[in-house]
Amino acid sequence: MRARCTLVYPYYEAPRMLALQLEAWSAYPKELLRCLEIVVVDDGSPTAPATVVLGEARLPLKLYRIVEDIPWNQHGARNLGASEATHDWLFLSDIDIVLPADAADALLQHQLEPSCYYTVERRPVGGGPRRTHCNTLLVQRAQFLRSGGYDEDFCGTYGGDGVFIQRLARIARHQHFADVCTIGYGRMGGAPPAFEGADSSLDRDSGRAEYRKRAHRKRLLNDLEPHRPLRFTWARVL
């Protein structure tokens, strides 16, 4: 029996990548779709909103939009997606990582333990060695919420993923599914993204520098737990 799961994807200014995701989701068999809902959170895209791609989708899909265009707000978008999910399990990933139908089916047919969180494989679309991805994981929604989710003090920076995983690992045991493989279109191992729009146009170096500053300040203040999630205005679009 398949687990029931919500797929959560933040989106920002990547319509070609979202169209590829829509193509993959549309290829899911009906019996698989009956176990799924798809939640896309448009993180304030100013010129290419997700509704342009998803407006005619005939899928178990919900689209939310964050009103403010906050740089590097993917943590907030993930928190919103998790808070609005209705299934017990969350599969969280990035918009440039595709979960094919066979991989989705294999993932949900595993015997899942609520006390665990799970990672999967990722391979580049053009071929190459597999790697794991820190922001692609399967976790029970209750565990995600219990962990506090992503710390939105780091929104506006490029970082904070590892802090979330460390906190999650305090309450859930890590397991890896080597038989489930996603397809990565973004940067992997220093290689450029597969095509323009598969990766954020924001500057990562300045984002990392700002993350280091905030992380240092939070350590000095002993302010290490997330608080006040969803610090933005949002609305459901579809």
Is 49 a member of any domain?
yes
Q: Which residue has the tokens 């895209």?
A: 45
d(CA 19, CA 14): 9
Is 144 a member of any domain?
yes
Residue whose C-alpha is closest to residue 65's, from 48, 82, 47, 40: 40
Q: What residues make up the domain containing 123? A: 5-224
| Contact criterion met (CB below 8 Å) for 77 and 71 | no
Is 129 a member of any domain?
yes
78: Cα separation from own chain's centroid: 6
Q: What is the pLDDT along the chain (238 residues), one digit of tens a residue?
A: 899 999 999 999 999 999 999 999 999 999 999 999 999 999 999 999 999 999 989 999 999 999 999 999 999 999 999 999 999 999 999 999 999 999 999 999 999 999 999 999 999 998 888 989 989 999 999 999 999 999 999 999 999 999 999 999 999 999 999 999 999 998 776 666 766 556 666 788 899 999 999 999 999 999 999 999 999 999 999 9
The single-letter code of the amino acid at 116 is C
163, two tokens: 């802090």
Is 158 a member of any domain?
yes
Q: Which residue has the tokens 């859930």?
A: 172
Question: What pLDDT does 190 receive?
Answer: 60
The CA angle 86-120-141, to the nearest 5 degrees, is 20
Question: What pLDDT does 1 receive?
Answer: 85
pTM of the model: 0.95
d(CA 17, CA 97): 9
CATH of residue 191: 3.90.550.10
Is 23 a member of any domain?
yes
Is 103 a member of any domain?
yes
Query: 141: Cβ–Cβ under 8 A, 6 or more apart, which residues?
Result: 6, 82, 85, 87, 88, 89, 90
Number of domains the chain is built from? 1
d(CA 109, CA 2): 5
d(CA 97, CA 18): 10
Is 232 a member of any domain?
no
Pairing of strands 116-124, 5-11: unpaired
Is 188 a member of any domain?
yes
The single-letter code of the amino acid at 175 is Q
Residue whose C-alpha is closest to residue 53's, from 29, 23, 81: 23
Q: Which residues pair with 121 in a beta bridge?
A: 181
